[in-house]
Structure 1
Amino acid sequence: MSENLFITQAEQSALIIVDVQERLAAAMPDGVRDRVVTQLQTLLAAAKTLSVPVIVTEQYPKGLGHTDKRLIPYLAETTPVIVKTSFSSAKADGFLSSLEILQRKSIILTGMETHICILQTALELQQQGYQVFVVEDAVSSRSKSNQYNALQRLRQAGVIITTVESVIFEWLADASHPEFKALAKLIA
């Protein structure tokens, strides 16, 4: 049976957290910022449980601050943090080499902002041959119209738009998975 490229598998996935930084997060609409952080905490907990590797990027941390402190407890000490000025993470020094080391084909893309860094990163990674999944409830833009436009463009380009819950259940694949009960509690 051939692999279904439209369903992500834990053993083929890498989770990328793009630019969820103190000052950038503060610019997101009320409610959106906290929703994204909560969704990322859930996804990071699932990734840890299922041994899905994580890469974090920070866009110009001197100006935008570092990764949101609420995410730090969910990151391993060995999680690569790629500092960048390019909007596409794929163009940042060390990003593609960090990704290649992982030998994962499915990229689970989350973070800020959807119409800038998420969009450009997704399209670059897709062009590099990766299967890209953008997690709609774990990305954000300052404006709804930019968010909507970016998600539409990504869909049209063949990027898979998904949700945190869908990703977790795809990673589990079966209710008999030994971690099913523990992870189901995360999204209950």
Structure 2
Amino acid sequence: MPESIHNPLLMTPKNTALLVIDMQEKLLPSIDAAARVTWNTRRLLDGAAILEVPVLGTEQYPKGLGATVPEIAERLGEVPEKLEFSSCNCVAEKLTKLNRPKVLLAGIEAHVCVQQTALDLLALGYDVLLAVDAIGSRFRQDKRIALRRMESCGVTLTTTEAALFEWCRVAGTPQFKQISGLVRETEPS
């Protein structure tokens, strides 16, 4: 039987970290499709816990924008505060220690903090992926243009479901059964 192929383009639990950006109480209600963004971010966090993918998070000026929403906060642990739009300086040291070449991003807002973080991480040599259904902006056009810009700069676009199955890699394991449960959840209306 041939040896299993390990394509370096694919995310695995051993080569990826998940970074959740600024999913905060006062900002989230104004985000287009906020319930879907929150749901997908939560599913990514649950999948990361099942498959032991390390997770990081940030909060943008919590004094003004509030704390991370409880559904996300309870899955993140300690979250550093920032004033810079990019999360890169907040998480760079932790990412270096994790030694994961790939970073999957989720959070808000696509055209501000997510985009600046993605571009800074690219400049540091990371492979940056973006779960497009787990990010948002107040206005669809801002998100649409941010996705185009990030992709043209080298960010790889994916979805929550694709990321979960990519991390899982194979069927027939207890982890696959849990990931399948996350995938089968009903999307919020």
Question: If the length of structure 2 is used for normalisation, what is the TM-score?
Answer: 0.91
Residue 71 of structure 1: how far off its partner (Å): 1.5
Deviations 1:37-62 (A, max 9, x none): 11111111110011111111000000
One-letter amino acid matched to 1:69: P
Instruction: Tell me what 2:132 maps to.
Output: 136
Name 2:7's counterpart in structure 1.
4
Matched, 1:83 2:112: no
Q: Which residue of 2 aligns with 1:164?
A: 160
Amino acid corresponding to residue 20 of structure 1 in structure 2: M
In structure 1, the residue matched to 2:187 is none
1:2–1:123 Cα change, 3 Å: farther
Identity percentage of aligned residues: 38
Q: Is the 8 A contact 1:16 1:55 kept in 2?
A: yes
Give CA deviations for 1:11-66 in whole Å, capped at 9, x if unaligned. 1111101000001102213xx11111111111111100111111110000000001
Q: Is the 8 A contact 1:14 1:106 kept in 2?
A: yes
* Unaligned 5+ runs, structure 2: 185-189
Counterpart CA distance in 2 for 1:128 and 1:111 is 20
What secondary structure, in the 3-state scheme, does the structure 2 residue paired with 1:139 have?
Answer: strand
Deviation at 1:3?
5.2
Aligned length: 181
Report SS of the residue matched to 2:70.
coil
Question: What residue number does 2:18 align with?
Answer: 15
Instruction: For residue 72 of structure 1, report the CA deviation from its aligned partner.
Output: 2.7
Once the two structures are superposed, residues 142-185 of structure 1 have per-residue CA deviations (whole angstroms, 9 ceiling, x without a partner) of: 00100000000111111101000000010011113441111111
Normalised by the length of structure 1, the TM-score is: 0.91
Matches within 5 A, 1:27-42: 27-29=30-32, 32-42=33-43
Three-state SS of the structure 2 residue aligned to 1:9 is coil
Asked if the contact 1:6–1:160 (Cα under 8 Å) also holds between the matched residues in 2, the reply is no
Residue in 2 that maps onto 1:60 = 61
Provide the aligned C-alpha RMSD in A. Answer: 1.5
**Aligned in 2, Cα 1:2/1:173: closer, same or farther, shift over 3 Å?**
closer
